[in-house]
A and B are shown apart, each in its own frame.
Chain A
Amino acid sequence: AQKVTQAQTEISVVEKEDVTLDCVYETRDTTYYLFWYKQPPSGELVFLIRRNSFDEQNEISGRYSWNFQKSTSSFNFTITASQVVDSAVYFCALSEAYTGRRALTFGSGTRLQVQP
């Protein structure tokens, strides 16, 4: 069955610290897509990244980076030199291309608090 696990419920760091948010997924499909979304205090969900299962290259976008490892079914998200504006709930999500759900299945989210 399709499942996304974000074991870290809440993380608190001090500004400028690096922080990694973990995401572990389960799927029976060989073709699937992984996503990260950010939900700031304003409430709207903001898209951060989409990665398909055939592209295991890590990606960096500014202070954000993502590490995709099929061998461990993980798609972790690292924020370097965190800032107060990074405080939000971060969701990892999965969609399957063939056998399962094509709409996004979300993890339970990780609340990140960045203290000044």
Chain B
Amino acid sequence: DSGVTQTPKHLITATGQRVTLRCSPRSGDLSVYWYQQSLDQGLQFLIQYYNGEERAKGNILERFSAQQFPDLHSELNLSSLELGDSALYFCASSVGIENEKLFFGSGTQLSVL
């Protein structure tokens, strides 16, 4: 158990809908990262927050947004969902800002029908 908690584990929704994925980092970790894993794109970095502030942005679509709250949990919001958004979304956390060993949650499997 990595200590990173992601909910829900599975999410099934329809095209055009909006969903929110939630992540609680390990106790003491200030950085939260979001990754998307799909068969065609592999593991893609989406976005990183550190202590409530956006730190780095990767291949995140404009339809997607994230935030980190004062209690350090994070949410990833996906809107206007398309079939191609179906993927496994991972949250990871680390103590510091960069080049850190990441601890991953078990992921949220999103299926867009």
Check A104 for interface membership: any CB of B closer than 8 A. Answer: yes
The distance in angstroms between the C-alpha atoms of A104 and B103, with both chains bound, is 12
Within the complex, what minimum Cβ distance (angstroms) separates A55 from chain B? 13
- Tell me the smallest distance from the CB of B38 to a CB of chain A, in Å: 11
Asked if A101 and B56 make an inter-chain contact with CB atoms under 8 angstroms apart, the answer reads yes
Q: In this assembly, does B25 line the interface, its C-beta being within 8 Å of a C-beta of chain A? A: no
Closest Cβ of chain B: how far from A7's Cβ, in Å?
14
- The answer to whether the Cβ of A105 comes within 8 Å of any Cβ in the partner chain is yes
Whether B102 pairs with A44 at a CB distance below 8 angstroms is no
B106 proximity list for chain A (CB < 8 A): 42-44
Complexed CA–CA distance, A108 and B106 (Å):
19
Q: How far is the CA of A37 from the CA of B43 in the complex (A)?
A: 12
Task: Taking A44-B2, A44-B107 as given, write out 10 further A-B residue pairs in contact, using a Cβ cutoff of 8 Å, ordered by the A residue number.
Answer: A35-B101, A47-B102, A47-B103, A97-B98, A101-B45, A102-B56, A102-B98, A103-B58, A106-B43, A109-B43
Interface residues of B (CB under 8 A from A): 2, 33, 42-43, 45, 48, 56, 58, 88, 90, 92, 97-99, 101-107
Distance of B1 from chain A, by nearest CB (Å): 9
**Interface bits A34-62 vs B (CB < 8 Å: 1, else 0):** 01010000111111001010000000000
- List the interface of chain A (C-beta within 8 A of B): 33, 35, 37, 42-47, 50, 52, 91, 95, 97, 101-109
Contact call B45/A105, Cβ cutoff below 8 A: yes
A103 surroundings in chain B (CB, below 8 A): 33, 45, 48, 56, 58, 98
Q: Do B105 and A104 have beta carbons less than 8 Å apart?
A: no
**What B residues does A95 contact at CB under 8 A?**
98-99
The 12 sampled A-B contact pairs (Cβ below 8 Å) are: A35-B101, A44-B105, A45-B102, A45-B104, A46-B2, A97-B98, A102-B98, A103-B48, A103-B56, A103-B98, A107-B42, A109-B42
